[in-house]
């Protein structure tokens, strides 16, 4: 049996009572309060893991340079997440203000990773690449944690504070 398309899922989600909707999302590892899944953070954690290897193994910079940003939907479409269509649909129907906050955080992480990737592609010294990696890691880990808080219904993150510390 084929997985239902996104429009079919909308009808399924909107047709469910709140308790059943929440149980369906929870069973799929999607936060029922926010409609967001922490699985998307794996996309950023993969890049962080690659960055963490660069100071000790400079040749890993090539692996990091192959990392490319993916939107929430693109991540789930490319993943083996068992409820990927449901994750995309839940994101699409999430509270617009919450989703805007989430998107701001993920865009910030994407911008950092893109800028670091560009800079690493332009430099030739391993020590410079290592410094870029270490700085990016410090920002990204805090942003991933703050974004996890948003996914799990936490409070708004202060991106400016994170970026200056």
Instruction: Domain of residue 62: give its range.
Output: 6-163
Residue 1, domain member (yes or no): no
Q: Please give the model's pTM, rounded to 2 decimal places.
A: 0.83
- What's the pLDDT at 152? 92
- Name which of 22, 112, 107 is nearest 72 in CA terms: 107
Is the predicted pLDDT of residue 125 greater than 90, yes or no? yes
Residue 97, domain member (yes or no): yes
Is the predicted pLDDT of residue 90 greater than 80, yes or no? yes
- What's the pLDDT at 163? 47
Q: What is the mean pLDDT of the chain?
A: 87
Q: Express each pLDDT in 40-87 by its tens digit.
A: 999 999 999 999 999 999 999 999 999 999 999 999 999 999 899 999
Residue 104, domain member (yes or no): yes
Distance between CA atoms of residues 89 and 111, nearest Å: 25
Mean local confidence (pLDDT), 137-162:
80
Residue 72 near residue 121 (C-beta atoms within 8 A): no
Is the predicted pLDDT of residue 35 greater than 90, yes or no? yes
Q: How many separate domains does the chain show?
A: 1
Distance between CA atoms of residues 120 and 91, nearest Å: 33
Lowest mean pLDDT across 131-135, 138-142, 154-158: 154-158
């Amino acid at each position: 049996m084929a997985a239902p398309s996104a429009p079919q899922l909308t009808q399924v989600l909107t047709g469910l009572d709140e308790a059943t909707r929440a149980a369906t999302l929870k069973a799929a590892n999607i936060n029922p309060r926010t409609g967001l899944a922490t699985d998307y953070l794996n996309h950023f954690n993969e890049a962080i893991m690659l960055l963490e290897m660069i100071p000790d193994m400079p040749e890993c910079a090539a692996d990091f340079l192959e990392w490319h940003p993916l939107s929430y939907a693109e991540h789930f479409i490319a993943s083996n997440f068992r409820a990927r269509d449901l994750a995309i649909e839940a994101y699409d129907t999430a509270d617009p203000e919450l989703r805007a906050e989430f998107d701001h955080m993920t865009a910030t992480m994407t911008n950092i990773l893109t800028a670091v990737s560009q800079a690493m592609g332009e430099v030739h010294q391993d020590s410079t690449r290592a410094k870029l990696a270490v700085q990016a890691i410090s920002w990204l880990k805090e942003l991933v944690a703050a974004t996890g808080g948003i996914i799990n219904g936490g409070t708004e993150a202060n991106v400016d504070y994170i970026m200056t510390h």
